[in-house]
Amino acid sequence: MVKLNICTKWLEQLLTSLFAEFRVRRALKKQRGGGISVPVPRTNGQIRADIKERIANGTYNVGVPVVASEISKLAINNEGEVIQKKIDVNARKIPFRDIRKEALTRNKPFSKIKDDNYYTLLNREQIISELQKNS
């Protein structure tokens, strides 16, 4: 009986020394009733589907494929045999015309409405009235 008591004390000391740095945490209470809505992050599949949809409707511009090439790669199939796979890859390029068009539409509020020559021909009162009209 004494030997068993010593073994349990030794085992208890060993376990407390091993798990001393771990903190016991309480479990969170489960929400019941369904009256509370909790936001959850989107899954990778939802994000991927959203990106594909935005590319399809033109929100995102991925450019046009250029420099198409074929890469061969070695892979292991389910039977354990080494097979050679061929993959078609290509680079993408956004045409400069599209970049210019997007920049012009984005910076439209900052562009001039009238040419500088128009303002040089006006006198002081007309310039003041133009500035008051624009502000």
Per-domain residue ranges of the chain? 62-93, 95-135
**Residue 48 clears pLDDT 70, i.e. is over it:** yes
The whole-chain average pLDDT of the chain stands at: 81
Comparison of pLDDT for 23 and 122, the residue scoring more: 122
Each residue of 58-93: b (16+ CB within 10 Å) or e? eeeeeeeeeeeeeeeeeeeeeeeeeeeeeeeeeeee
**Residue 86 clears pLDDT 90, i.e. is over it:** yes
User: What proportion of the chain, given as a percentage, has pLDDT over 70?
Assistant: 76
| Confidence (pLDDT) at 2 | 47
| Confidence (pLDDT) at 84 | 93
